[in-house]
Chains A and B, each alone.
Chain A
Amino acid sequence: MTVVEESPRQDIPGVPVRIGQARGGPPRSQVLRRDNWRLQPILVAAGLLVFIGYSTWAALRNGDFYAGHLGRDYLSPYYSPCLTHSCTTAGYVWGGWSWWRISPAWLILVFPGAFRTTCYYYRKSYYRSFWLSPPACAVADAGSTNPGGVRSRYTGETLFPLILQNVHRFTWYFAVIFAGILTWDAIAAFRFPNGIGLGVGTLLFVAQAVLIWAYTLGCHACRHLCGGGLKRLSKAPVRHFFWKHVSTPLNHHHQLFAWCSLISIMVTDLYVWLVASGTIHDPRII
């Protein structure tokens, strides 16, 4: 076998890209799809709006996010790590930032917020559901059928601000830290005043930590780091192992874990709020 030094295809004439000719089928504004293609973007938009709405309320609440005073070491994920108050029993090294005036949730939410905003799955979901680019496959982009209109040109993720999506891997580094913090919260949720116990809340915290890890380790940036970026996986057995047995299988269900982890965060916060505000009593199982 010899090394190719010259393209063997030098004698093939080029073919022009033809633009502006009559293209296939009826006018582009006409949607021929018969199925209910609107349903999915509407459901996704509704789900994301519920989450944004709930998170805003949870962040503005700035209270009833820790149930330590009721004998439950439950700290809401929106307020973890505990910054402004001292969540004594949780044993945090920091806390008590009395100089921070507004809700600490805003400070915390920046990190998972940036992680999820630049996540390849969420990008797909909001480009489709909110930006309608495209709303569904084989349905024209919003504005594209109006030549010369504001949205007739499409630049994808090549210009500011969308070019910033390329920072996703850096948000992933922080997401790993946050997954660690939520794991710590799940462990702390086993602590009861008289030793180790298990409440309904404990189960929610464990589920949350598991789902967050499943989402974080299935991230495409993680998959790239594990081994996706290598030319020869066989030369890096450890990375190949993580790539093949951890990151790739989780990545396959990334959409599922994106939603499940999102829901578990809301449910856990809601539960902590209900317990911490004294609305319900957390039943102890063991």
Chain B
Amino acid sequence: MSVPTEPRTAGAVAGNGTAGAGAPAPHGTSATADATGPRQLHLQLWRGDADGGGFVDYEVPALEGEVVLDVVHRIQAEHAPDLAVRWNCKAGKCGSCSAEINGKPRLMCMTRMSTLDTSQTITVSPMRAFPVMRDLVTDVSYNFVVAARIPPFTPGPPEPDGTYRMAQVDVDRGQEMRKCIECFLCQNVCHVIRDHEDNKPHYAGPRFFARLAELEMHPLDTLDRRRLVSEQLGLGLCNITKCCTEVCPEGIHITDNAIIPLKERVVDARYDPVAWLGRKLLRRPRPAPASAVAVDLPVARGAHDPTIDGRSDPAVLGRNGRRSDG
């Protein structure tokens, strides 16, 4: 992606498809197309930390071909050297620059200014589901706690020649989930924790449902994570309203291809008497249940160790007033 740095005239920006160029701008400054100088962009960036904060207004000239992250960087360079913003690749691949642009969870580096209505003020705020560290940077460690609770890929013994074989059609489904860049935008938009933070201790969230679905569909994996996902990781809390799918920058069909298939698998394991009878009659070999593994994973204890800070807070208790697990 080439990002021209020389200022262009407003006419050129408008010609590039910027919506609303020429409309009156807020803050009393003129954003009208003017042959003599670049148009101004108006942004409100969230500034603050764990003690609170608010939106701060910034104005910078519009340049052609920029993404929101470029503009934020220019503000950082020219007006606010202490502005905290996390980024790495500028190519939509590292998943660092997640934020909410005009209230929509998006990657800053993949949101072109030309797709936004620059005649109005553009707001950039940190992800709302996670604790704010500073300005646009949030503490996403909740996600790593959940990741650690997922029993890893556990293959059976290899074939006699010491190798494993799998057919492409068997891994196609899981490969969609592997596109995930762990931007956690889906975790952020999921109302189960975004609007009800008390669900965090017993909810994995869409990114990890995708991971769990990938493992459950893996042709070589031998663990059964279905009870774990429904009893401890809160699959039933998801009401399939698909916001995770709407915001995923990788276009993963999280709800249709991961969450709902997982829900159907949980029905097999827990709610379907016909499937239960079939298992009894046909004596199908049962894969090892994964819940024991999950509880045993030492790293998993972090989130549930009563000695760790926050655990005495009633908000950390499980849904029915109990701790979310043992």
The chain A residues found within 8 Å of chain B, CB to CB, are 1, 3-4, 7, 9-10, 12-26, 28, 31-34, 120, 123-124, 127-128, 133-134, 137-138, 140-141, 144-145, 152-158, 162-163, 166-169, 220-221, 223-224, 228-229, 231-234, 240, 244, 251-252
Contact (Cβ within 8 A) A4 B152: yes
* CB of B93 closer than 8 Å to a CB of A: no
| CB-CB under 8 A for A25 and B100, given A1-B162, A229-B265 | yes
Contact (Cβ within 8 A) B131 A22: yes
Instruction: Find B170's partner among A16, A223, A233, A252 (CB 8 Å cutoff).
Output: A233
Instruction: Find B267's partner among A158, A166, A244 (CB 8 Å cutoff).
Output: A166
Please, which residue of chain B has its CB at the minimum distance from the CB of A10? B298
Please, which residue of chain A has its CB at the minimum distance from the CB of B272? A169
Contact (Cβ within 8 A) B129 A16: no
| CB-CB under 8 A for A14 and B198, given A4-B152, A156-B239 | no
Q: Which 8 A-B pairs have the closest CB atoms?
A: A14-B302, A32-B103, A24-B126, A156-B237, A137-B243, A33-B103, A144-B195, A224-B264
By a CB distance below 8 angstroms, the chain A residues around B102 are 32-34
Interface stretch (choices B22-30, B33-41, B71-79, B306-314): B306-314
* CB of B196 closer than 8 Å to a CB of A: yes
Contact (Cβ within 8 A) A156 B128: no
**Alpha-carbon distance A47/B1, docked complex (angstroms):** 44
Contact (Cβ within 8 A) A3 B155: yes
Question: Could you list 6 examples of A-B contacts with CB < 8 Å?
Answer: A4-B153, A16-B145, A34-B103, A133-B239, A144-B196, A154-B191
Contact (Cβ within 8 A) B196 A16: no
Please, which residue of chain B has its CB at the minimum distance from the CB of A237? B169
CB distance from B255 to the nearest CB of A (A): 8
CB distance from B236 to the nearest CB of A (A): 4
Beta-carbon contacts under 8 Å, B13-58 to A: 46, 48-52, 54-55
By a CB distance below 8 angstroms, the chain B residues around A153 are 196, 198, 319
Beta-carbon contacts under 8 Å, B237-280 to A: 237-243, 246-247, 256, 260-261, 263-268, 270-272
Main secondary structure of the interface of B (DSSP, over half): mixed
Q: How many A-B residue pairs have CB under 8 A?
A: 249
The chain B residues found within 8 Å of chain A, CB to CB, are 46, 48-52, 54-55, 100, 102-105, 117, 120, 123, 125-132, 138-139, 141-142, 144-145, 148, 152-158, 162-164, 166-167, 169-170, 189, 191-192, 194-201, 216-219, 221, 234, 236-243, 246-247, 256, 260-261, 263-268, 270-272, 297-303, 305, 308-311, 313, 315-316, 319
Instruction: Find B236's partner among A4, A156, A220 (CB 8 Å cutoff).
Output: A156
| CB-CB under 8 A for A18 and B141, given A124-B241, A156-B237, A220-B264 | yes
